[in-house]
Each structure stands twice: as C-alpha cells, then as structure tokens.
Amino acid sequence: MAMGIGEILSQLGSIAASLMFVYAMYEQFCPSDLRKFVENYKHKFTDLMSPYIQITFNESSGERLKQSETYTIIQTYLGANSSKRAKRLEAEVVEDSQSPLVLSMDDNEEIEDEFNGVKVWWSANSKAPRRKASSGRSFDVVRCFTLTFHKRHRDLITSSYIQHVLEQGKAIIFKNRRLKLYTNNGGCWWMSGWSHTNFAHPARFETLAMEPEKKEEIINDLVKFKKGKEYYAKVGKAWKRGYLLYGPPGTGKSTMISAIANFMNYDVYDLELTTVKDNNELKTLLIETSSKSVIVIEDIDCSLELTGQRKKKKEKDHTDKNENKEKTDKKSEEEDEDDDNDDEEEEEKRKSNVTLSGLLNSIDGIWSSCGGERIIIFTTNFVDKLDPALIRRGRMDKHIEMSYCRYQAFKVLAKNYLDVESHGDLFPIIEKLLGETNMSPADVAENLMPKSTTEDAESCLKNLIQYLEIAKEKEEEEAKKNGEKAQLVAGKDKQELAQNYRMNRWRRQVKNMRNFFGSC
C-alpha cells in the first residue's frame, strides 16, 4: 500500500513537470495572436462553467485617472461593516474627520458580506493600469475592489445591494466628517464668498439649560424634519425648516444653535447681512450653502433696517413736496459741504442694499428650493420690532422663546458646573428666588462657576443665593419707582381731566348765555 502511494506521487510529479515544460514552450514559441485567442476561449470556458459573477470597482477612473468617489464610498462601507472580520488591514490617517484612523482591507484580502439572506464576497486587489494618465504621470498598479456573487442573484445585487452599499457608505462619511463653521466675506465688504473653520462648540441638548418638556419638543421636531424627505416632497414644499429664537440677552440663543448643529451633525453658515452688497449676492451666497446645514442670521433686528420699510414707502409720496422745497433751500449749503458729502457717499456705497423683499425671496421664494435639508434660524432680542411677513409661519415655522432661568433649567446648570443634583437646604431657597426674580441662564451659570480652587459646590450655591437676593431687591425697588411714576402720571392725568372738564363746562355756560341774550 505504501509503495502504491509512492508510485502515485511520482507519477503526479512527472505529470506536473511535463505540464510546466509544455507551458514554458507555449509561452516561448506560441505567437501572441494565438495566445490571445487561447486566453479568450479559456475565459469563456471558465465563465461558462462558473456560476459566479464579478464586478470590479477601480480606485482611479477617467482619462486623468482621478480618485473614484465610488471606490472611496465602498472603502468606507467595508471599513466600517465588514473589515472587522479581515485579518490583514491597511491604516490611513484622514484629516478633518471625527474618526481620523481609517482601516481598510489590504491587497489580496477577501471578506464576506450578507444582504437579505444573500452572501457576497469582496476582495481587494491590484492590477496594472490599461493606460497612463493624460497628465504624464505613470501608475505601477491600480487598486480595485471586486464583488463576487452567484449569478441567480444578479438583479438583487445590481439593483438593491450596490445602492445599499453606496447609501451606507455616504452616511458613514457624513457621520465621521468634521463639522465646519462658515462665514461670508470674512468680515470684509470688498470680498465675496464663504470662508470656514472647524466647528468645535461642545454644546449639546443634554447640557442646555431649559425645561425638559420644551427641550424634548424641540428634539422631536428636529428628528421629524430629518426623516421628512418623502413627506416634504409629498406636500410640495422645499425640504427646509425655519426657527425663530427670541428672548432677552443671555438666555442661550447661540448655545441653542450650536446644540442643534451638533445634534443634527450639520455644518453652520453664519450669514452676516451687513456685509452683503445686494439681493443678488445674497442669493448667490445661499445657493453656495450645502445641504445638511444650519443657516443662521443672529440679531436680525440689528443686521439691517428690515422694519418699517413699508411705512417709509407709504410716507414717501407725502414727503415729496417738502423734500423739493428743502432741496432748494439746502442747495447753497451743500455746495459748502462737498468734501463731507464725498466721504458720506463713499460710506454709503459700502452699506448693504439687501431689502426685506430680497431676504424673503431668498429664504422662502423659488431660490429656496435650490438644495434640501436646510435649517434657517433667526435670533432677536426684540421680536416685536420684526416685520410680521418675516416671521410668519411657513418662513419661521417654529417660534422658540428663550426665557429667564427657572428651577428646572437651574438643575441642569448645577449638574453641569458643580456636578450636584440636589441639596436639601439650598435648592428650595434657590427655587423660590428663581420664581420671584428674572435672571438669565448666563448670569446663573456665572455665579455657579467656581472662581478658585478653594470654592466648593455649597459655597457656589450660597453665592448664587446672595446674588439672587440682591437682584430681587433691585427689581422690587425698580417696580416701586415705576409704580410711583405711574401714580404721578395718573394723578397728572386726573388733574388735566378735571381741568378740561371745568373749562368745557364754563364754555358751555358762556355759549348758553350768548344764545339766550341773542334770542332776546
């Protein structure tokens, strides 16, 4: 039996040697045309016998052999989902990413994936490029991913699975990217376009000083908006949502914007209207904003003269006659002030010519549909100053009042700054004082923050109580003064009414006497 195995092995060795000799002679003496013919039919025979199909995704494509976006997306998908099972990995450090270390399959590595119960195989390979780049650069190899699957699943893979891979890969890239903070013009009126820096504000809804019910309402609204692509298309509206944040200074409007951006994982575009030259430039800037972004106009009541413009337009006709007369009178004076007027005209040219109508059309007109998944936020300290057309529902869909700090908001701040959730003696006092005093969350936070290494949580809480008591006394004194002024004004009004009543009665008596003597 042992001799039989030895004979078989020797025969196999001789056969292998013979095949290698024949293959070497074939490579050496067979014409190239014949070899191509044989190779072609060899692949056809292999494809006929094999039940599997392969799709190749090259790293570079096009005449210039540019980096393929599809290859990058597939690499991201495999790195996040399937490369955990790979034994040979390649590491790469990517800038501007929340996950700077990116792992991907090394060459000649194969992994298995599953979709709707169907198994597929991905392999990373390298091959020689078919041509050189038109730029003159040469590439030794071109990397690629090869997808292998059974031919009976061809329709499922080509119609659903590849689309699934691309969508998941894009979502992972978007999730891992570093958020950007954009600003227009860089604060210079003679420049145009957006400049950006990394957005690294740590604000989150968990640390936001606000009543839990109100906070939950905002979060639910944001989640519904993020998942509402089909709904907005169904109702025929652009996929955008407007938020109006209003309230006294220091109530957390800017912090709310940062929390929204971090929660949605959106870039922030801080639009400074005073540096926008006209309505056309405003449209251009808004078109250049990307999807999945938050567009912010802070203190919109101070950004431009957007209030009272309609009233001014109505009063224009009434003042035309007076203006013509004033122009004639001032003509001689203007001749003496030419130098000053030149400076004023130059300054006037630098002022923004953005109008209320232009702003409305940009954020809610036809141009607002150039892109989707955008949140537009206005902030103001004085909501009554804004034109009703600017903040109506449909433009600013949700109005959020950022009010003074109350007890629930204080508990969040105490947890953030002091890591304290309760205090049997001091918390009830603070709750009572906050209900009687209007204090912004910024002032409360400042008093809770330890000023030295020797201050502990209890001393900080006592400092806040002292500050609240002082603020309460000031408010009571102010209210008392206002009450005395109101009484004084009311007393004067009563005296004027009584005097007017006496004068009117005297005039009636005089009139009656004249009528009496006149009839006589």
Structural domains in the chain, CATH included, are: 29-130+139-176 (no CATH), 180-308+351-401 (3.40.50.300), 407-491 (no CATH)
Quickly state the pLDDT bin for 321 (edges 50, 70, 90): very low
Could you give the percent of the chain with pLDDT greater than 70? 69
- From CA 366, how far away is CA 291, in angstroms rounded? 16
Greatest mean pLDDT among 161-170, 295-304, 305-314, 495-504 lies in: 161-170
Greatest mean pLDDT among 82-96, 186-200, 260-274, 369-383 lies in: 260-274
HSE toward the beta carbon, residue 495, CA cutoff 13 A: 6
CA distances from 214 to 296, 380, 411 (A): 21, 19, 15
- From CA 51, how far away is CA 122, in angstroms rounded? 16
Nearest to 120 by CA among 146, 86, 159: 146
Between 259 and 367, whose confidence is greater?
259
Residue range 331-349: mean pLDDT, rounded: 53
Q: Which residue has the tokens 């030295």?
A: 452
User: 3-state class of 425 per DSSP?
Assistant: coil
CB neighbour burial string for 168-190, b if at least 16 within 10 angstroms, e if fewer: bbeebbeebbebbbbbbbeeeee
Instruction: For 68-114, write each residue's pLDDT tens digit.
Output: 888 888 888 888 776 666 666 676 665 655 666 666 677 778 888 89
- From CA 268, how far away is CA 260, in angstroms rounded? 10
Q: Which two tokens stand for residue 211?
A: 């009543």
- From CA 168, how far away is CA 163, in angstroms rounded? 9
- From CA 209, how far away is CA 251, in angstroms rounded? 9
Nearest to 433 by CA among 458, 460, 466: 466
- From CA 417, how far away is CA 436, in angstroms rounded? 23
User: 3-state class of 243 per DSSP?
Assistant: strand
What are the backbone angles phi and psi of residue 72, rounded to the nearest 5°? -65, -40
Please report the pLDDT score of residue 259 as a whole number.
96
- From CA 245, how far away is CA 257, in angstroms rounded? 9
pLDDT at position 250 over 50 = yes
Strands 60-61 and 66-67: antiparallel
Please report the pLDDT score of residue 313 as a whole number.
47
Residue range 197-205: mean pLDDT, rounded: 92
HSE toward the beta carbon, residue 150, CA cutoff 13 A: 7
Number of Cβ atoms within 10 Å of the Cβ of 25: 10
Please report the pLDDT score of residue 256 as a whole number.
96
Q: Which two tokens stand for residue 517?
A: 């003597």
The amino acid occupying position 482 is N
- From CA 384, how far away is CA 301, in angstroms rounded? 9
Three-state SS for 274-310 is: HHCCCHHHHHHHHHCCCCCEEEEECCHHHHCCCCCHH
- From CA 158, how far away is CA 160, in angstroms rounded? 6
Q: How far is CA 222 from the centre of its chain?
A: 12
pLDDT at position 268 over 50 = yes
Instruction: For 406-454, write each residue's pLDDT tens digit.
Output: 999 999 999 999 999 888 889 999 999 999 999 999 999 999 999 888 8
- From CA 324, how far away is CA 321, in angstroms rounded? 5
